[in-house]
Structure 1
Amino acid sequence: MSAPEPMDIHDQVHAFADGELSPEEADVFRAHLGTCAQCQEDLNDILQLQALGGRLGEMEAQPVRLTHPHQDAAPSRAFRPAWSRRGNRVAALALAGSLAAVLAVVVLRSPDGVPQEGHDVMALAPTRSMEARLSWSGASAHRPYGVLRSGDERPRELVPLQQLAKLEEAGDLHGLATGHLLRGERDQAAEYLQRAPASPDVDSDRAVVALTKGELEEALILLDGVLEKHPQHPEALWNRALVLRELGLDALAADAFDAVAGLREPGWAEEAKERAAALRRRLEVQRGTWDEAQKAGKALATDGTPFPEGLARAVPGSARNSLYSALWAAPSADAVKALLPLARVLDAHYGGDTLERRVSHVAGLDFKRRGPLAERYRQVVLGTFDASGLDAYVRELEASGNSDFLLAVLPLTGQLPARLPEYEKAAKALGDPWFTLNVEREAARAEFARGDLAGAEARLLRALPACRAAKADYRCGQMEYVLGHIYTEEHRLVEAREHAVAGLQLARQAQEWTQQSDLLMVLGNVARYRNAFALARAYLGEQAARDGRCAARRQVQEGLAAMQVFALHPKQAREELEHAPACDVPFFINGAFVQADLSRLDPRPGDVEALRDGLRKLESSGLLRPGERALATHVEGRAVIEKNPEEGRALLRKAIAEGNRLGSEDPVAWKARAYSYSSLILDAGKAQDWAGALALFAEESGAGAPERCELGVEVHDERTLVAAKGPGGELLGHFDSSRRSPDFDVTKLVPQSVVAALKPCEHVRVFARYAVHGQAGLLPPELAWSYHTGAKRTAPAVTAARPLVVHDVDAPASLNLPRLRSWELSGTASPRRVELTGSAATPSRLLAELADATEVEIHAHGLVNLGVSDASLLVMAPEADGRYALTAGEVRRQKLKGAPVVVLGACQAARTAPYLHAPWSLPVAFAEAGARAVLASPIDIPDAEAGPFFERVMERIRAGAPAASALRDERMRALGARPDSWVKTVVVFE
């Protein structure tokens, strides 16, 4: 009897699915499966039929024993094909859909091995479709990561609805969220995670949802919160590494993956090591490429070594600088002609033939005259040039017709911006946009140094389109950096971030390493200024990991120390400063602030003396601009006032005078003014000088002297001040320095004794500093009170009533906002009333109609989107270019000639930007534009109730009631029916 013929390998698919092949045969078939589409399809059909037919027992599966995911031992899997270990992704991806549908009911064991009945664990595909780690124990086991490269849809896995139903029946909200997240249904996952009991695991998975939505800052905040209390939480460490990588912070991401690897979890540790190594390789390539370009440029200029063409294409900005440096250093026409290949490579990148023509022109010059000039230029580059001969060298260059040398000599010898006119003349003579664009940047830097931030901004905004047209990414990145710095100084943080991000993208594309570091510093400061401390720590930490320059490292540590002061962690702030290197100056202005606050929060002998000595050195360094000099005076007074009140007050008054002289056009000087008033107010409170404190509140805002029914509130660092004048002019107040956290409950700031004294007042005017301004609940609802905005009151220029109502707005469909209820008119319609509705209610149309309105009601959606506005914004119908947001900045620039009462019937319309030097919100913007009163709420408000409530308040105002009294009366009527109503959050700004 003859031996049976061997089975064709294509016919083995059933035996493989049923586990009937020998181990050797199974290995052979797995290798075949990776390349056979027909077998993959057949296996897919077989497994689905098996699952549907309930014949799971025919597959070889052993129970999976899971330890707690945060223990050292890792989960094991019963079915893990050899190709998954060997990294054959093709077969893994082909099987992922089928195997994800197969669920094995297993026993979940506690760490001590005792079975926990009634739990199902998802037995998912051999590879995971999501990079992030999930914390729910039923899906936390390690699986290699593998997704399709088509990018057609978001990665998802097939978790059957029956499994989700079991989890819902068991009340396992976390497991239910995990199932939906694996299925790609992140909104449902977010909803279940919100309802699940709070825990580090839940917060880590909430961060995963935020990560999948691209909400990187929210994810980072959640993960930092977990790791602050649980530093070795594996999933949070892993997911934080992913967030950092998505932010482009590769150095920190690699460190985070190293921390995961250090936990030594099987599977996860190996993958973490691989990811960390890949990130570091990418960083090393970027840094190495830039370093190589700098060395190649120096070699080209000093000894004519050709600049590698591939390197020129990789770092075209540095290569263009190097080409010019070599042109200036070239001793002969032949040396110049040798630069033609590099010029052509760069012309191919930038377009045109500018550089080839320039090289050819220089090659035709008289080198008997140019050669000696080139030799002296080489001395400048090498640092051997005698600076005393600079003026003569410059005159010689101008007289010889070789003024192009000035474009290198003046910057290298530190003669800019002092000799900017000579630089500009040389740039125009040369005619290359590379230098005419740099003239604009250098001129803007000079304006910035003089305190003319508006002039610098306008100049750069005019120059940027020409820069982009010239494809001069290196120059554009430099301009974006200066713009980001200007906007940060002005606290225009949305614009600052926009330009810094644009510059960083250009720097990354051009592989300009130091530009990247500079822009990371800007982004870190932007985040710090808006109290986004998780993001600030990340950007500054990345900058510190990349940049070895002394000044940069010093500024990073000062920024980190400033955040510790804000968090009221003075000892940690000192530790951050101790890590800061000693540079040419003992500290920069930010570090001076930290030193001043530490002399009060954590005083040590010699603190104030060291600060004053450092400020003198900083002043003599010439680094301070006019506004910064006023700020330095404030910092000195801020520290001195604690030990020598009279001298400290004099210094603070000097800073205020300087701020008034320079005006709000110099935002740094204006901050010095604001901070100095704060220090004086707190000093008065410490002395229980309630009258003095109230007088300072009024003086700063330009209000009349307080007489009766006035309240002032200041919360700064550890100190809280409340000062008041009652209905009879009686003075009372409260001061303490016991706060140990920056968080506070606004409803508990004003002591009951002060509230009781103010209750007889018909209206309380509130002066609130910037941490408090605009918050609801400062005073109880039975009082009529309003925030004083500091805006100057002017008589209306419009006499005839002209109501403006915005309602039924067609918000952009992309925002997926629900349509609000239609607005219904109550009472008699005014013939002059203007209604903006539907697609006509655009931001530009609303701004135009606001000018003459005597009464404004805006019923629209409100959003907080820090990518668009620092404060809350109103969602209007989109313009032709897609712009839909009405921001506080746009409102502030208007002139409301009708001095209207404004009702902002939108969610979070009173939300205030987290600035420490000035209140900033939509209501404040309307008040500054000319509104006599603004009503708004800082929270979400219900659509069905908002319209009727605000209309009843407006009826009272039309009948002659002051806005605060009208709101109080209607609020109390509503609270009588429902004490927990949202109406208690509505605030009046006047």
Structure 2
Amino acid sequence: MSAPEPMDPHDLVHAFADGELSQEEAEQFREHLATCEACQEELDDILQLQALGNRLGVEEAREAPRDVAAPVQQPVASAPPRAFRPAWSRRKWVAAAALSGSLAAILVLVAVRSGPSNVRDDSTLLALAPTRSMEARLSWSGASAHRPYGVLRSGDERPRELVPLQVLAKLEAQGDLQGLAVGHLLRGEREQAADYLQRAPASPDVDSDKAVVAMTKGELESALVLLDGVLEKHPRHPQALWNRALVLRELGLDALAAEAFDTVVSLGEPGWAEEARERALVLRRQLEGRRGAWDSAQQAGRALALQGTAFPEDVARAVPGTARNWLNIALWTAPSAERVRELLPLARVLDARYGGDTVVASVERVAGLDFARRAPFAARFREVLEGTFDSASLEPLVKELSGSRDQDILLGVLPLAGGLPAHIDVYEQVARALGDSWLTLNAERERALAEYGKGDLAGAEARLLRAVAACEVAKADYRCGQLEHLLAHIYKDEHRLVEAREHALAGLGWARQTQEWTLQADLLLVLGDMARFRNAFALTRAYLGEQALRDRGCAADRHVHESLASLHVFALRPQAAREELEKAPVCDVPFFLNGAFVLADLARLDPKPGDVEKVREGLAKLDAAGWLRPGEKVMATHIQGRAVIGSDRAEGQRLLGQAIVSGELLGAADPVAAKARAYSYSSLILDAGSTGDWARALSLFAQEARVPAPERCSLGVEVHDERTLTAARGPTGELLGHQDASRRSPDFDVASLVPASVIAALKPCEHVSVFARYPVHGQAGLLPPDIAWSYHTGTQAQAPKVSAPRPLVVYDVDAPASLNLPRLRSWELSGGPSPRRVELTGAAATPSRLLAELAQATEVEIHAHGLVNLGVSDASLLVMAPEAGGRYALTAGQVRQQKLRGAPVVLLGACQAARTAPYLHAPWSLPVAFAEAGARAVIASPIDIPDAEAGPFFARVMERIRAGSTASLALRDERLRVLSTQPDSWVKTVVVFE
């Protein structure tokens, strides 16, 4: 009798799932299963059906009568014969078209053992295939083992693995929320994963896995914050270290990512250490290649200009912007027509890169000039390049060259010999006469730099925006990067951080594309500063840490240390701030403005002998060196006053008052001066509080807001570093207040800021006007719900005298489908029928239509989704229907630019509509923007609000206002009505701005 033929492995799926294979057979089948997508599909179906059957069985058991006898189980003498399953019973799908390449890593076995449902069963292990589909490391023990990373290159779908539902059911029964989240994440179901992780008990492992979910969503900053939080308490957490390296790499911070992988290597984990070492080597090799290419281009360019050595064509193709600049310099130093013609091969390479024949035409034009006249001028420029030029001869040289056929040499002489911005008109005329966009774009940049230096930021911005558009048309990549860099600087100074980030990232993209190493470093500094301005510690450390690893120049290194020191001051870690400041090298000046600011605060927080004198002397040297623009001079005055006031009150008050006056003179057009004005008011208010002068403190609050000093029922609140101040006037004008310096963390509980004694004194007031400094402004819960109060936003708009009101209502908005937002319930319009009411609904409720209708409205209700998206707006935004171009967001910046002639009451029935941007110098939010545009009152909440309850509540508030009540009284009365039956209702979070 012949031996039976071995069974086709495809026929063993059911037997494997039922546990009918021997150990040896099961092992062989697992090897087959790892590479057979058809069997993987079939096994998943089987396990899902088994899981469903198990659940149904549990339900049936729950419903069965308890007195029914269980069937008697017969002993099993031997294993039953294997059931025959014909080959045609298998599913014969071709998996390659339906599955992503990441399905090569399949969960192929779940070993489970019964146990208490509320206890994690460590035998619920995932037997994983040889490779993993996700780069990130998972902390849950069932999926934390090392497998080499390997996916197919189709990239059709996000990485996912085939996790049977039976596994998820088992984990759910065990109450293992983290394991359940990991299972969903491996299946590509990140929203479910995020939900389970949110419900899982807090731990470093859970936070690391939360970061992985954030990474899959592209939320790199959120992931970095989570991972930095884990590593602050557990510096050697393996998964957090690995995942942080991945986040840094995705942010383009390759040097820092390589360093992070080095730390993983030091842990010595099998598999992970080797992979981390390889990744670090690859990142460094790429970095060194890019840095080496730029260095080679600089060396080749100098040799080209000074010795006439041919510029290597491969280097020109790798770093085309630098090559183009050096070719121009070589044209200006060339002593003869022959030397100029030697530039033609390089010119052809560059024309091939940028298109057209501009570079070749420039070379041929110069080669045709009279070098008997030109050569002496070229020799003078060579002196400029070599640093031997006598600056006293600059003016005669400018006169000689201006208007001549050799005037193009001025484009090299003026910027390198310090002739700009004094001769910016000449520079621009010469560039335009040559008609080369590479040169005219640089002229626009130099003109914008001159405007920026004079404090004309608006003029520089407008010029640069035009130049950026022209640059993209001209495909002048290197110039585009330079223009974006300066534009980002301007927006950063104006604290327009969303726009600053947009242009900085655009510039960084150009700089990376052209391998401009120093421009990349400059843009990393800008990005780090922007992150610091919005208190994004993790991102600041990342950008500045990358800069520190890339650029060892003195000024850049000092800037990094000063910025990190300022973060420590904000976090109230003065000793760490001083240590960071002491690491900074001494450059041409002792410190920059940021370092002076830090030292002025340390003179109060962690005083050392000589701190105040160092601030004074360093600021004087900065000013003498000519490093301070007009607004920065005002800031220097503030910093000096800030440092001095603790030891010499009269001098400190004088300097801070001078900064306020100077800031007023420069006006809002100079944002640095505006910040100095705001910071000076803060210092003076806290100084008044330190002596218990509550009248002066309240007067300063009002003075800053440009309104008369309050006489009754008013409250001022300031929270700055370690100090907290409250100053108030009661219903009869009595003064009271409190100040202390006990804070040890930047976080605070807004409900505990106002002492009970102050609250008791304010309770008889019919309304309390609150002057809140910028960390507090807009937050809910500052005063109890039984007090009618509102945030003061400046000069109050008066209700218009109109014969017929013009209400504007926005509801049932068609939000963009790409946002996946649920449709809000339809709103019942309050106020009854009105022929003058304007209703914006559906696809018509676009941002531009809403902005147009706001101008004449006397009452505004906006019922829409609210979002916080720092890629679109620093404050919260309202989701409108998309325009033809796709724009859907109504932002605070857009609202502020409007003129609301009807002085409306504005009700923002949207989630997080009162969310305030984290600025330290000015309150910024949608309600503030509406108030600045002319609204006489704005009602909003800084938290998520329930759709079903929000409509009726806001409708009743508006009815009270129409009946003659003020916004704060209407809100207070309706809030108390709701709280009488629902004490924990969300209505406590609604805030009025007036």
TM-score, normalization by structure 1? 0.91
The aligned residue for residue 757 of structure 1 is: 761
Question: Aligned partners of 1:746 and 1:623: how far apart in 2?
Answer: 40
The aligned residue for residue 194 of structure 1 is: 198
Q: CA deviation at 1:804?
A: 0.8
Map 1:164-175 → 2, pairs under 5 A: 164-175=168-179
Q: 1:395 corresponds to which letter in structure 2? A: K
Q: SS at 1:631's partner residue?
A: helix
Residues 798 and 897 of structure 1 are in contact (CA less than 8 Å); yes or no, is this contact kept in structure 2? no
Question: Aligned partners of 2:713 and 2:744: how far apart in 1?
Answer: 31
The aligned residue for residue 806 of structure 1 is: 810
- Of 743-752 and 944-953, more deviation after overlay is shown by 944-953
Could you tell me which of 900, 903, 906 is aligned with 2:907?
Answer: 903
The aligned residue for residue 539 of structure 1 is: 543
Q: SS at 1:767's partner residue?
A: strand
Map 1:700-711 → 2, pairs under 5 A: 700-711=704-715
Q: CA deviation at 1:94?
A: 12
Q: SS at 1:714's partner residue?
A: strand
The aligned residue for residue 319 of structure 2 is: 315
1:940 lines up with 2:936 in the alignment = no
Residues 101 and 154 of structure 2 are in contact (CA less than 8 Å); yes or no, is this contact kept in structure 1? no
1:988 lines up with 2:992 in the alignment = yes
Q: 1:559 corresponds to which letter in structure 2? A: S
Q: 1:429 corresponds to which letter in structure 2? A: A
What's the CA shift string for 1:425-448, capped at 9, x where partnerless?
221222211111111111111111
Question: Aligned partners of 1:759 and 1:20: how far apart in 2?
Answer: 78
Could you tell me which of 110, 120, 133 is aligned with 1:129?
Answer: 133
Question: Aligned partners of 1:94 and 1:521: how far apart in 2?
Answer: 39
Could you tell me which of 120, 136, 143 is aligned with 1:139?
Answer: 143
Q: 2:843 corresponds to which letter in structure 1? A: S
Question: Aligned partners of 1:837 and 1:146: how far apart in 2?
Answer: 49
Inter-CA distance 393–750: structure 2 relative to 1 (3 Å threshold): same
The aligned residue for residue 373 of structure 2 is: 369
Map 1:89-128 → 2, pairs under 5 A: 97=103, 100-105=106-111, 119-128=123-132
The aligned residue for residue 622 of structure 2 is: 618
Could you tell me which of 856, 867, 870 is aligned with 2:871?
Answer: 867
The aligned residue for residue 76 of structure 2 is: none
Question: Aligned partners of 2:110 and 2:887: how far apart in 1?
Answer: 51
Residues 843 and 879 of structure 1 are in contact (CA less than 8 Å); yes or no, is this contact kept in structure 2? yes
Question: Aligned partners of 2:351 and 2:176: how far apart in 1?
Answer: 63
Could you tell me which of 732, 735, 748 is aligned with 1:728?
Answer: 732
Residues 456 and 670 of structure 2 are in contact (CA less than 8 Å); yes or no, is this contact kept in structure 1? yes
The aligned residue for residue 500 of structure 2 is: 496
Question: Aligned partners of 1:796 and 1:659: how far apart in 2?
Answer: 33
Question: Aligned partners of 1:489 and 1:145: how far apart in 2?
Answer: 44
Unaligned runs of 5+ in 2: 48-95
- Aligned length, in residue pairs: 932
What's the CA shift string for 1:590-629, capped at 9, x where partnerless?
1111010000000001100111011110111111011110
Q: CA deviation at 1:391?
A: 2.5
Question: Aligned partners of 1:21 and 1:518: how far apart in 2?
Answer: 62
Q: CA deviation at 1:411?
A: 1.0
What's the CA shift string for 1:706-732, capped at 9, x where partnerless?
111110000000000000111111111
Q: CA deviation at 1:98?
A: 7.1
Residues 862 and 872 of structure 1 are in contact (CA less than 8 Å); yes or no, is this contact kept in structure 2? yes
- Of 966-975 and 357-366, more deviation after overlay is shown by 357-366
The aligned residue for residue 645 of structure 2 is: 641
The aligned residue for residue 829 of structure 2 is: 825
Residues 96 and 125 of structure 1 are in contact (CA less than 8 Å); yes or no, is this contact kept in structure 2? no
Q: CA deviation at 1:42?
A: 8.7
What's the CA shift string for 1:139-175, capped at 9, x where partnerless?
1000000011000111111111111111111110111
What's the CA shift string for 1:803-825, capped at 9, x where partnerless?
11111111111111111111112
Inter-CA distance 974–132: structure 2 relative to 1 (3 Å threshold): same
Residues 721 and 743 of structure 2 are in contact (CA less than 8 Å); yes or no, is this contact kept in structure 1? yes
Inter-CA distance 361–95: structure 2 relative to 1 (3 Å threshold): closer
Q: SS at 2:128's partner residue?
A: coil
Inter-CA distance 854–590: structure 2 relative to 1 (3 Å threshold): same
Residues 207 and 219 of structure 1 are in contact (CA less than 8 Å); yes or no, is this contact kept in structure 2? yes
The aligned residue for residue 657 of structure 1 is: 661
Could you tell me which of 442, 448, 451 is aligned with 1:444?
Answer: 448
1:526 lines up with 2:538 in the alignment = no
What's the CA shift string for 1:372-409, capped at 9, x where partnerless?
22222222212222333323333332375311110001
Inter-CA distance 331–711: structure 2 relative to 1 (3 Å threshold): same
Could you tell me which of 282, 287, 307 is aligned with 1:283?
Answer: 287
What's the CA shift string for 1:430-487, capped at 9, x where partnerless?
2211111111111111111111100100111111111111111111111111110000
Question: Aligned partners of 2:407 and 2:798: how far apart in 1?
Answer: 57
The aligned residue for residue 693 of structure 1 is: 697
Residues 641 and 649 of structure 1 are in contact (CA less than 8 Å); yes or no, is this contact kept in structure 2? yes
Could you tell me which of 670, 694, 706 is aligned with 1:666?
Answer: 670
Residues 251 and 546 of structure 1 are in contact (CA less than 8 Å); yes or no, is this contact kept in structure 2? yes
Map 1:300-379 → 2, pairs under 5 A: 300-379=304-383
Map 1:882-897 → 2, pairs under 5 A: 882-897=886-901
What's the CA shift string for 1:182-219, capped at 9, x where partnerless?
11111111011001000000000000000000000100
Taking only the aligned residue pairs, the percentage that are identical comes to 72
Q: 1:531 corresponds to which letter in structure 2? A: N
1:267 lines up with 2:271 in the alignment = yes
Q: CA deviation at 1:792?
A: 4.6
The aligned residue for residue 83 of structure 1 is: none
Q: CA deviation at 1:548?
A: 1.9
Residues 712 and 768 of structure 1 are in contact (CA less than 8 Å); yes or no, is this contact kept in structure 2? yes
Q: SS at 1:946's partner residue?
A: helix
Question: Aligned partners of 1:505 and 1:98: how far apart in 2?
Answer: 34
1:602 lines up with 2:606 in the alignment = yes
Could you tell me which of 501, 506, 509 is aligned with 1:505?
Answer: 509
The aligned residue for residue 881 of structure 2 is: 877
Could you tell me which of 386, 400, 414 is aligned with 2:418?
Answer: 414
What's the CA shift string for 1:279-313, capped at 9, x where partnerless?
11111011000000000101111111111112111
Q: CA deviation at 1:370?
A: 1.5
Q: SS at 2:125's partner residue?
A: coil
The aligned residue for residue 60 of structure 1 is: none
Q: SS at 1:123's partner residue?
A: strand
Q: CA deviation at 1:736?
A: 0.1
Question: Aligned partners of 2:693 and 2:405: how far apart in 1?
Answer: 71
1:842 lines up with 2:870 in the alignment = no
Inter-CA distance 19–783: structure 2 relative to 1 (3 Å threshold): same
- Of 783-792 and 879-888, more deviation after overlay is shown by 783-792
Residues 799 and 898 of structure 1 are in contact (CA less than 8 Å); yes or no, is this contact kept in structure 2? no
Inter-CA distance 246–505: structure 2 relative to 1 (3 Å threshold): same
Residues 121 and 174 of structure 2 are in contact (CA less than 8 Å); yes or no, is this contact kept in structure 1? no
Q: SS at 1:255's partner residue?
A: helix
Inter-CA distance 50–829: structure 2 relative to 1 (3 Å threshold): closer
Q: CA deviation at 1:733?
A: 0.5
What's the CA shift string for 1:309-340, capped at 9, x where partnerless?
12111111101001111111212111111111
Q: 1:728 corresponds to which letter in structure 2? A: T
Residues 862 and 907 of structure 2 are in contact (CA less than 8 Å); yes or no, is this contact kept in structure 1? yes
Residues 103 and 133 of structure 2 are in contact (CA less than 8 Å); yes or no, is this contact kept in structure 1? no
The aligned residue for residue 71 of structure 1 is: none
Could you tell me which of 668, 684, 691 is aligned with 2:688?
Answer: 684
Q: 1:663 corresponds to which letter in structure 2? A: G
Q: SS at 1:537's partner residue?
A: helix
TM-score, normalization by structure 2? 0.90
Residues 110 and 167 of structure 2 are in contact (CA less than 8 Å); yes or no, is this contact kept in structure 1? no
Q: 1:967 corresponds to which letter in structure 2? A: L
Residues 13 and 42 of structure 1 are in contact (CA less than 8 Å); yes or no, is this contact kept in structure 2? no
Q: CA RMSD in A?
A: 2.7
Question: Aligned partners of 2:879 and 2:102: how far apart in 1?
Answer: 43
Question: Aligned partners of 2:284 and 2:957: how far apart in 1?
Answer: 61
Q: SS at 1:103's partner residue?
A: strand
The aligned residue for residue 928 of structure 1 is: 932
Could you tell me which of 971, 975, 978 is aligned with 1:971?
Answer: 975
Question: Aligned partners of 1:819 and 1:558: how far apart in 2?
Answer: 48
The aligned residue for residue 787 of structure 1 is: 791
